[in-house]
Amino acid sequence: MTDESAKSWVEAEWADTLDEELEMEIDDFLVARDLQFISEKKHKSPIDRNAYFHELLRLQAELVKLQDWVQHTGEKIVVVFEGRDAAGKGGVIKRITQRLNPRVARVVALPAPTEREKSQWYFQRYVPHLPAAGEMVLFDRSWYNRSGVERVMGFASEDEVEQFFNDVPEFERMIVRSGVRLIKYWFSITDEEQQLRFLMRIHDPLKQWKLSPMDLESRVRWEDYTKAKEETFERTNIPEAPWFIVEGNDKKQARLNCISHLLSQMPYEEIPHEQINLPERRFNPDYERKVLPEHLYVPQKF
């Protein structure tokens, strides 16, 4: 008897592709009912959920074309993501890289510097991560740690910060002169929105790992971070590598707007490919497949 609810193989495979994005979204509402006590504030995204997924998949298809163009032409791209804690940088980076080849599009998220790295030229630990031909590198925070968290938290002296501001414009001009396309994004959210997202992280067991002591301290020093951001813009917004601000209060809007803008900054075009034909499998009538021991298999619990 045929199961009428069963999908064709192609339909099931396509549904799995869509479910990848849905799985990434689940943490937004999985425990939402249990966390209603956090706030009575209502929020309605200006983007319909179906429209969001449709547009996201369209943009991700364009990102694949961008990837092909980068490989074909040997382009080198650096995208810097900075901004407030919990402003949505990580979510955008995930959507950009979700369907790309990790050998082409790499994410760099460096930990706190070691004692040895602290004694180096400040930019030294970032340079090895810059792209070679045919690569895109996405910095989830970057050398701007110096004018942000290091400055506000007292990890860098005022002299070190001043030296950074003097050096970074020329450092970025050197990167651009070497043939790298450098794009810088700053994700901005309101004080209230950050507070709500931090409360979600505190009470949601799926998100608690995202909350660090530095994040908590950033709430206390909101105004200090604002002043640091303003001076960073004033002194590092150069024509060769300008800042672009992404409004992040609505996550879906921020993701679509950022990806769309990133694509608009690249003169990419679709690269023609030779038609691919699946070769026939070789068949040896004398080969007999061995039966493997049962203990090698993962138990089928689902």
State the residue for tokens 């045929």: 2
User: Taking a C-beta distance cutoff of 8 angstroms, is the pair 183, 80 a contact?
Assistant: yes
- Which CA distances in Å does 301 have to 16, 58, 162? 20, 36, 59
Burial of 259 (0-12, 13-18, 19+ CB in 10 A): buried
201 belongs to a structural domain = yes
Half-sphere exposure of 49 (CA within 13 A, CB side): 7
How many CB atoms within 10 Å of residue 201? Answer: 19
191 belongs to a structural domain = yes
- Residue-level pLDDT at 1: 47
Order of strands across the sheet that contains 135-140: 105-108, 135-140, 76-83, 180-188, 243-247
143 belongs to a structural domain = yes
- Which CA distances in Å does 283 have to 45, 151, 210, 286? 55, 66, 51, 9
- Whether the model pTM is above 0.85: yes
Phi/psi of residue 28, nearest 5 degrees: -75, -20
State the residue for tokens 């590092």: 236
User: Taking a C-beta distance cutoff of 8 angstroms, is the pair 210, 219 a contact?
Assistant: no
1 belongs to a structural domain = no
- CATH no. for residue 35? 3.40.50.300
Give the whole-angstrom CA distance, residue 18 versus residue 191: 33
286 belongs to a structural domain = no
- Residue-level pLDDT at 206: 74
33 belongs to a structural domain = yes
5 belongs to a structural domain = no
**Domain coverage including residue 130:** 15-39+46-269
Q: What is the pLDDT along the chain (302 residues), one digit of tens a residue?
A: 455 566 676 777 666 666 666 666 665 555 555 566 666 666 677 888 889 999 999 999 999 999 999 999 999 999 999 999 999 999 999 999 999 999 999 999 999 999 999 999 999 999 999 999 999 999 999 999 999 999 999 999 999 999 999 999 999 999 999 999 999 999 999 999 998 888 888 887 777 888 888 888 888 899 999 999 999 999 999 999 999 999 999 999 999 999 999 999 999 999 999 999 999 989 899 988 889 999 999 999 99
Number of domains in the chain: 1
283 belongs to a structural domain = no
